[in-house]
A and B are shown apart, each in its own frame.
Chain A
């Protein structure tokens, strides 16, 4: 124990029996600084409705509903809401790199009347709309574009509430849906200032100014930050709705990265993983489903307990992984042990940042020629093995990443991809995985959005030395998104690596906690079925796996060789 050397003591007598608020008041009187009991704001979700959702409901209610019949017959690989067809126990879907498989571990799913598959709200969408089996239970921009062409933009995914850049824009005009059509982004609208789990307003550590508003939604008098129901709009990709036993596992009372409080399951009172959403705002599959129904489906009400139970049961038995590689052949027979959906379904949650239990098992089986293997398959498989080694054992300097370089490991830290992507079978972070990778915070957000330009032999998109953009505005993909200026108050600690003034297109976790340290922190995704669901990162900045690899290379100066990059792409493509 530490030595105790007191000089003087001020007894405030702040007995906590009355309420945490009274306690806070006592401290304010004593120290002149506001305090809050975080525990009070981290619980209090009732009926599976989190504290920020009622405000979202109000905005969803005023967003226009445009009901239009589709022009064309549905595509065979597209699942429309309310379709009367069973979801098979196992089915493969083609993609650019081969095939992704969806495995229903509980067997064939009867979707008729199933709340995951039925349109429950006013806009005709169902959960399945944005969690398509062919897209690894997410939604690829390729599918979105195909669906636009197939339906003349009348599919419910293009609903005004969030399938448009802003509901104020003219429907049916592709420009009104450009962020969805070109980057696969849906509008996420959240109350600002943030609301705690119990609905109480959080006093944020920073202020927000809108610097750039290409969608018009953040300055809209109806939907924006200064509307009667103040909301901030950010734009994010749908996350994968499969392999949930891994995503919902883990979680202690306190975040091991900073000591913040973990959310609790409102039904069990137990801490949860907080891995479900980009900003960690919803604790459970049920609360997430409730919010999604109210916002994305425009359900003017609540899902019933029976509906929530059925949605959760479905989510907990569906698995997704690439099952066949166009260049490498089968990923389920004579293949590395962690590949394919069956391996995922049968695997166990755990820490995979070590040689004893590598996140994606070992790839030894592909190190030696296999019977019947073609030369091109051999070459590809050897590349995948090398890519796995680059991912798992090749160190590079990782720098200025909040919630990694701040947790006691030092900044920078020389480590590997597997340091953060450490969850067995999934490759997400088994600790709460929100980090500021730079994909939404300037200056790196501009690099992330313009990786292809950065790789071209001319000036970089953003010059770190001069702090100026070197990219013509019309060519800057980051300009498609809003830009906010966040200023941390003097009483608060600054962002650990960006200081007190931060420019960002999505404050991420900070929109939930109100904390400067969380600005731009986004929960990393699982890595399964990547081949089926481009683009990547929460804001779709990486259009391809190669752009994803290129961003990491630039962000961390990893100095990958061309061979290493291709090997990484090949490795990622078989997950």
Chain B
């Protein structure tokens, strides 16, 4: 089959990428590194996710599950990677560790992002579960919900993060923030809920400024308001507005969001 051929090609490509001596410039420990690249995945028993920039390989994180902090990128798409170079220069699976790191899968397809690197003798990355069944019956979907809030009640803000340029898709952990906001609104009998949809961007390490699509903030509002309504929040108490968020290359992923402000 042709995907076997792809695997062979990936193997060859992987050898080239994994080979030492290709790094053009050693990354500064502690430096922020924001770039767009094809993700790579290493075929260790527990796969490791990597990306290459300027000839250097960077380690993003392990394959995990929905309970993990790190959500991997997707082959077939470029990814916006925003991370911090590990202060101690640690390498995992051949890559300089970025931690913390956030990955945004860019929506459009890119067929060139198709590389599975061979294990090449690398050890499994640190992980909390293997590719086999979980050792715990408590999966992400069975997690306990937070206890109901107790008075005195105060205005509370719930941030719902979105991937770059994305307004429809939410990960489960992020949908849970909407549930939490709706639950809080119900518990405190909220008088008002304000939904603020942000349009932001990303400042790449090479100085490029990426701006999200013009309508992304209003689309995000539509998504979140629909979810709140579905969760039982009275539409009569909901207001919304869009806002442009500044971004400066420092944790820009935090600015691509919707804020739900629940007021007593």
Contacts and interface: CB of A to CB of B under 8 A. Distances in A.
Contact of A261 (B107, B134, B142, B227): B227
Contacts of A16: 225, 229, 235-240
Nearest to B137: A356
B171 A395 contact: no
B137 to A, nearest CB: 4
Contact of A353 (B139, B235, B237, B246): B139
A465 B139 contact: no
B251 interface: yes
A355 B135 contact: yes
A555 to B, nearest CB: 9
Interface string A410-432: 11111110100000000000110
Interface in A234-259: 252-259
19 contacts: A6-B244, A9-B244, A10-B243, A27-B221, A31-B214, A37-B222, A39-B228, A256-B66, A259-B171, A354-B133, A355-B135, A408-B72, A409-B63, A410-B41, A410-B74, A411-B76, A414-B131, A464-B1, A494-B107
B28 interface: no
Contacts of A408: 66, 71-72, 171-173
Interface stretch (B3-11, B51-59, B84-92): B3-11
Contact of A23 (B4, B132, B225, B254): B225
A247 B208 CA distance: 50
Contact of A36 (B64, B175, B222): B222
A460 B1 CA distance: 8
B82 interface: no
B15 interface: no
Contacts of A258: 168-170
B47 interface: yes
A173 interface: no
B246 A7 contact: yes
Nearest to B71: A408
B149 to A, nearest CB: 16
B140 A256 contact: yes
Interface string B6-27: 0100000000000000000000
Interface of B: 1-5, 7, 41, 43, 45-47, 49, 63-66, 71-77, 107-109, 116, 131-137, 139-142, 157, 159, 161, 166, 168-175, 178-179, 196, 198, 214-215, 217-219, 221-223, 225-231, 235-247, 251, 254-255, 257, 259
B74 A496 contact: yes
A7 B245 contact: yes
A9 B219 contact: no
Given A407-B66, A409-B66, A464-B2, A35 B134 contact: no
Contacts of B4: 557
Given A1-B159, A5-B247, A463-B2, 12 more contacts: A2-B161, A16-B238, A37-B222, A37-B225, A38-B223, A254-B178, A353-B139, A354-B135, A354-B139, A410-B41, A412-B116, A464-B2
B3 to A, nearest CB: 5
- Among B77, B237, B241, the one with the most A-chain Cβ atoms within 10 Å of its Cβ is B241
B1 A353 contact: no
Contact of B229 (A40, A405, A412, A517): A40
B63 A6 contact: no
Given A10-B241, A40-B229, A410-B72, A493 B168 contact: yes
B141 A351 contact: yes
Interface string A387-413: 000001101010110000111111111
User: Contact size class for A?
Assistant: 35 or more
A15 interface: yes
B179 A253 contact: yes
A107 interface: no
A259 B161 CA distance: 12
A406 B74 contact: yes
Given A37-B226, A358-B133, A557 B141 contact: no
Contacts of A397: 116
- Among B47, B71, B229, the one with the most A-chain Cβ atoms within 10 Å of its Cβ is B229
A13 interface: yes
Contacts of A392: 133
A471 interface: no
Given A406-B74, A406-B169, A354 B255 contact: no
Nearest to A412: B75
Contact of B226 (A39, A355, A395): A39
Contact of A393 (B133, B157, B237): B133
Nearest to A262: B230
Interface string A350-363: 11011111100000
Contacts of B157: 1
A31 B221 CA distance: 11
Contact of B218 (A17, A35, A497): A35
B151 to A, nearest CB: 21
A4 B135 contact: no
B239 A499 contact: no
Nearest to A356: B137
Nearest to B174: A259
Nearest to B61: A410
A78 B1 CA distance: 42
A487 B214 CA distance: 22
Contacts of A146: none
